[in-house]
Amino acid sequence: MSDSDESIFARISALVAEEHKLRDAPAAADAGGPRLKQLEEQLDQCWDLLRQRRARREFGQDPEAAAVRDAGTVENYEG
């Protein structure tokens, strides 16, 4: 997957907006629960991808070689 930092930030912005919309809904805990978890995982993956790209840039490597990691890997790494 090849994404620019700008497109990743745009994806993050869209996910955050959806997350806020779900959390602000009266029945967010009931109907939005599974979707909220999915959004949180996708946000973690996006932030992880940005960190990978920045680290690769910092060490003179190609940021385009960074790849989205599965949610389980990201959660274990960050948790």
pLDDT digits (tens, 9 = 90+) for 4-52: 999 999 999 999 999 999 888 766 556 668 888 999 999 999 999 999 9
Q: What confidence score (pLDDT) does residue 60 get?
A: 97
With contact defined as beta carbons under 8 Å apart, do 39 and 8 qualify?
no
pLDDT of 46 reads 96
Instruction: Give residue 49's domain range.
Output: 5-78
Per the listing, tokens 């805990």 go with: 29
Q: What pLDDT, in 10s, does the model give residues 54-68?
A: 999 999 999 999 999
CA–CA separation, 24 vs 48, rounded Å? 26
- Residue recorded with tokens 């973690």: 44
Pick left, alpha or beta for residue 2 (phi over 0 → left; psi -120 to 50 → alpha; otherwise beta): beta
* pLDDT average, residue stretch 66-73: 93
Report pTM: 0.84
At residue 64, the pLDDT reads 94
- Split into its structural domains, the chain has a count of 1
